[in-house]
């Protein structure tokens, strides 16, 4: 049995597995590789951020390009990308944040209870840093997707 001492290492591994699982199960999208944990191009971006309360509490954020958000929404809803409107793309990005965060927290162990707030979806100007937390980047057919999770563990 491997004992992981650094919580950030554990959270990063959890984000890798749970985010991939959410994308495959509900978005019918396969992760084809890793993406840099910070943006490297100037494509318009969509971010969905939510806070969670309980034990532990913290914040989670997901970021994609607008194009990737539309592709994910189309896959989620089972419709053609041309049928996806901006509101649907934003709502689906919020659902993705909700599920990826909840899935990671449920897998964290020693989590007694948590409550997820409604995600807030915004356009992110290029160069705006993501939430300060453990970040992971995923490469999808439709573009890059990044997540960041900050967990505020209660003092021991």
Partner 1 sequence: MAWDVLIVDDSAVMRQFIRRVAALSGIEVSRYREAGDGFQALAALEAEKANLVLTDLNMPGMDGEEMVRRMRSIEALASIPVIVISTDATASRMNALLALGACGYLQKPFGPEMLLAELQRVMGGPV
Helix 7-27, helix 66-77: angle, nearest 10: 60
Using CB under 8 A, pick the residue from 76, 140, 142, 149 that binds partner 1: 76
The residue among 39 and 98 lying less far from partner 1, judged by its C-beta, is 98
Using CB under 8 A, pick the residue from 39, 61, 63, 95 that binds partner 1: 95
The residue among 36 and 54 lying less far from partner 1, judged by its C-beta, is 54
31 burial via Cβ count (<10 Å: 0-12, 13-18, 19+) = middle
Going by C-beta distance under 8 Å and a sequence separation of 6 or more, which residues neighbour residue 10? 4, 108
Contact assessment for residue 76 and residue 95, using Cβ atoms and an 8 Å cutoff: yes
Q: Count CB-CB contacts under 10 A for residue 126.
A: 10
Region from 39-47, 63-71, 95-103, 131-139 binding partner 1, contact rule CB under 8 A: 95-103
Decide: is 103 part of the binding site for partner 1 (CB under 8 A): yes
CA 32 to chain centre: 16
Decide: is 94 part of the binding site for partner 1 (CB under 8 A): yes
**CA proximity to 106, closest of 61, 34, 54, 50:** 54
Region from 33-41, 98-106, 131-139, 142-150 binding partner 1, contact rule CB under 8 A: 98-106
Decide: is 98 part of the binding site for partner 1 (CB under 8 A): yes
Question: By 3-state DSSP, what share of the chain in percent is helix, strand and coil, each rounded to 5?
Answer: 35, 30, 35
Region from 2-10, 38-46, 76-84, 133-141 binding partner 1, contact rule CB under 8 A: 76-84
Residue numbers at the binding site for partner 1 (CB under 8 A): 21-22, 25-26, 73, 76-78, 88, 91-92, 94-95, 98-99, 101-103, 106, 111-116
């Amino acid at each position: 049995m491997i004992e992981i001492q650094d919580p950030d290492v554990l959270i990063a591994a959890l984000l890798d597995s749970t985010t991939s699982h959410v994308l495959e199960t509900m978005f019918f999208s396969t992760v084809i590789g890793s993406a840099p944990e910070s943006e490297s191009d100037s494509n318009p971006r969509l971010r969905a951020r939510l806070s969670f309360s309980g034990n532990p509490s913290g914040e989670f954020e997901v970021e994609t390009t607008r194009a990737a958000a539309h592709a994910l929404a189309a896959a989620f809803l089972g419709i053609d990308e041309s049928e996806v409107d901006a509101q649907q793309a934003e709502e689906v990005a919020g659902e993705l944040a909700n599920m990826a965060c909840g899935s990671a927290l449920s897998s964290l162990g020693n989590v007694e209870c948590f409550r997820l707030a409604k995600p807030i979806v915004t356009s992110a100007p290029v160069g705006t840093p993501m939430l300060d937390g453990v970040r992971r980047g995923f490469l999808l057919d439709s573009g890059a997707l990044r997540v960041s999770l900050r967990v505020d563990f209660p003092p021991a």
